[in-house]
Chains A and B, each alone.
Chain A
Amino acid sequence: MSAPKISLRGVTKAFGAKPVLRGIDLDVAAGESVVVIGGSGTGKSVMLKCILGLIRPDGGSIRIDGEETVGLGDGERTQVMRKFGMLFQGGALFDSLRVWQNVAFGPIQSDGMAPAKAKDLAMAKLANVGLGPEIGELFPSELSGGMQKRVALARAIAREPEIIFFDEPTTGLDPIMADVINELIVKCVHELGATAVSITHDMASARKIGHRIAMLYDGRLIWQGPVAEIDHCGNAHVEQFINGRAEGPIQMQVRKL
């Protein structure tokens, strides 16, 4: 068996005296889609940002294609980053740039593609997520939340990444738009043959886009398994979460991480 695409071992991170990740072990195989679920403030985003290299973990190992990425220098980090695409929770579109310039940003700025060619590429990617060329000339602030998410998805896939990360892809969207985004995510990941890691607390989304689900609680992954097994996992924490019950072993986090 080949090395997993992404492999986390004993990843820890604390902010001040507060431990957020207490030792995360996770393997994601090439072409697999893993969804990490967990309540707000359990450190899902922190875990994702550790893998991305936006936050440096305190301890443990994060390997991408077998290569250790914790403690990489700027140059090597850029090389690894080339494999990644990321859909941010709020879209994180550059509001000073037009929609097509957002999508073409990576190809132009990082890969040195000629603007005219990159514009064609951007329009093609926008078409991929169901947006016409007229949208490309608008500014992100002129778009609705769902449209912004689509543009952000187009930007995330523009450089045909090997690994795509989704941070709460459906948060803040109505159920129909959420499903549209889920479908697009499944389609895009499938077309690219990419590996995907998503974090969400939306169970409908998790079931739709994930092959495997892992639950983060109290800084550890307390359960992981195929989507089909989650309803019969026998874990009280997971069952409380997926059924959305206030009563159970999970206590609400008061302070933000």
Chain B
Amino acid sequence: MSIPVVTQLGRMTLALLAMIGAVTSFAARAIRHGLQPPYYRQQILRQVLEIGYYSLPVVGLTAIFTGMVLALQSYTGFARFSAEQAIPNVVVVSLTRELGPVLAGLMVAGRVGAAMAAEIGTMRVTEQIDALTTLSTDPFKYLVAPRLIAGILTLPVLVLIADIIGVLGGYLVGVYKLDFNDSTYLRNTLDFLQFQDVFSGLVKAAVFGFLITLMGCYHGYTSKGGAQGVGAATTNAVVSASILILTFNYFITEAFFAR
């Protein structure tokens, strides 16, 4: 009885290690190609538009409601200790350090990571990636590197915008529902905000941008077996990117704030 369990465990461990190895070498190859010319500027721009601009509505809505609910929830907690004046600070620090980058990352993983895996996966199964190679165009340079570069550059901007919209959400609830004085709310928001809070969030965003696009490209690039394979690639891209975002979020937080 115990032998099959051990066998299964061993198999899963080996599969996991093989996967980590494959992803790492894929990432190394992508980075190496991303740093060397030629750079496909149009492809990068297209991806910036895709990842950044078209994600604005989703990320904006997520941010504003998160900011609003943060203000509301912290009020119910802090009112018991008459510490309502801490609310603006709680809202802005939670948003910039954690919720901005993590929620924006998860939303973009669902939106962009899935689309990327589906697009590249379809290109794989219809031999378009092989066709690129036969036209002397390196698929890593043409398909993968522009997406990674766009992800790393765009996510921080997206998160900065999410931070601002989120704070606005908190402000609206604070001023119009919780009867804060509007200038006091803004002063409290800015006075306690430290550069480190925003900066750590933007570093997270850049890392998440890399992880989302890497997972989208990796699962798409390695997909096989027609429509079913592309479907699996899409799911795997979103799930693995989400897990990696939450994992890396902890370690980056520890690197910045652990004493």
Contacts and interface: CB of A to CB of B under 8 A. Distances in A.
Interface stretch (A3-11, A102-110, A237-245): A102-110
B128 interface: yes
Contacts of B127: 88-90, 92
A109 B137 contact: yes
Contacts of B135: 105-106, 109-110, 155, 159
A81 B126 CA distance: 20
Contact of A94 (B40, B128, B134): B128
Interface string A69-104: 000001000100110111011101111000000000
A88 B133 contact: no
Contacts of A52: 130, 133-134
B137 A49 contact: no
B217 to A, nearest CB: 16
B134 A84 contact: yes
B75 interface: no
Interface in A102-125: 105-106, 109-110
Interface string B122-143: 0100111011011111100010
A188 B130 CA distance: 22
Interface in B93-142: 123, 126-128, 130-131, 133-138, 142
Interface in A145-172: 155, 159
A110 B128 contact: no
Interface residues of A, number: 24
Contacts of B131: 86, 88, 92-94
A88 B130 contact: yes
B130 A49 contact: yes
Contacts of A93: 128, 131
A216 B192 CA distance: 75
Contact of B138 (A54, A74, A85): A74
Contacts of A81: 133-134, 136
A105 B142 CA distance: 12
Contacts of B142: 109
Contacts of A155: 135
A106 B136 contact: yes
A105 B137 contact: yes
Contacts of A109: 40, 135-137, 142
Contacts of A78: 136, 138
Nearest to A152: B131
Contacts of B128: 92-95
B130 A110 contact: no
Interface string B17-56: 0000000000000000000000010000000000000000
B126 A110 contact: no
Nearest to A106: B135
A175 to B, nearest CB: 24
A23 to B, nearest CB: 24
B229 to A, nearest CB: 13
Contact of B134 (A85, A89, A90): A85
B25 to A, nearest CB: 15
Interface string B73-108: 000000000000000000000000000000000000
A49 B130 CA distance: 9
B145 to A, nearest CB: 13
Contacts of A94: 123, 128, 131
Interface in A39-54: 49, 52-54
A113 B136 CA distance: 14
B98 to A, nearest CB: 36
Nearest to B119: A96
Contacts of A92: 126-128, 130-131
A92 B138 CA distance: 16
B136 A110 contact: yes
Nearest to B40: A109
B38 to A, nearest CB: 8
B134 A86 contact: yes
Contacts of B40: 109
B96 to A, nearest CB: 36
B128 to A, nearest CB: 5
Nearest to B133: A54
A90 B128 CA distance: 9
A155 B138 CA distance: 17
A185 B135 CA distance: 19
A95 B127 CA distance: 12
18 contacts: A49-B130, A52-B134, A53-B133, A54-B130, A78-B136, A81-B133, A82-B136, A86-B131, A88-B130, A90-B127, A92-B127, A94-B123, A94-B128, A94-B131, A105-B135, A106-B136, A109-B137, A155-B135
Top 4 A-B residue pairs of the complex, sorted by shortest distance between their CB atoms? A110-B136, A92-B131, A92-B127, A106-B135
